[in-house]
Amino acid sequence: MKNLLEIHDAHVYIGSFYILQGVSLVVPKGEVTLLLGRNGAGKTTTMKSILGIYPPSEGKIVFKGEEISNLPTHKIVNKGIGYVPDTRRIFGTLTVEQNLIISRRKGTSKDVMEERLELVFDLFPDMKGFMKQRAGTLSGGQQQMLAVARALMNENDLLLIDEPTEGLSPLLAKNLINALDRLKEFATILLVEQNFRTVSKLGDNFYIFDNGKIVHEGDNIAELIADKELVAQYLGVSI
Q: What is the CATH number of the domain that holds 71?
A: 3.40.50.300
Q: What is the pTM of this model?
A: 0.91
Count of domains for the chain: 1
Query: Confidence class of residue 238 from pLDDT cuts 50, 70 and 90?
Result: low
For residue 189, being part of any structural domain is answered with no
CA angle 95, 178, 115 (to 5 degrees): 50
Q: Which pLDDT score, from 0 to 100, does residue 118 have?
A: 92
Examine the pLDDT at 27 and tell me if it is beyond 90: yes
For residue 153, being part of any structural domain is answered with no
For residue 30, being part of any structural domain is answered with yes
Q: Which pLDDT score, from 0 to 100, does residue 133 have?
A: 96
Between CA 160 and CA 165 the distance in angstroms is 14
For residue 127, being part of any structural domain is answered with no
Q: What residue numbers bound the domain in which 43 lies?
A: 1-79+203-239
User: pLDDT tens digits, residue range 68-109?
Assistant: 999 999 999 999 999 999 887 889 999 999 999 999 887 777
Between CA 65 and CA 76 the distance in angstroms is 13
Q: Which pLDDT score, from 0 to 100, does residue 170 have?
A: 83
Between CA 216 and CA 41 the distance in angstroms is 13
More confident residue, 196 or 11: 11
For residue 214, being part of any structural domain is answered with yes
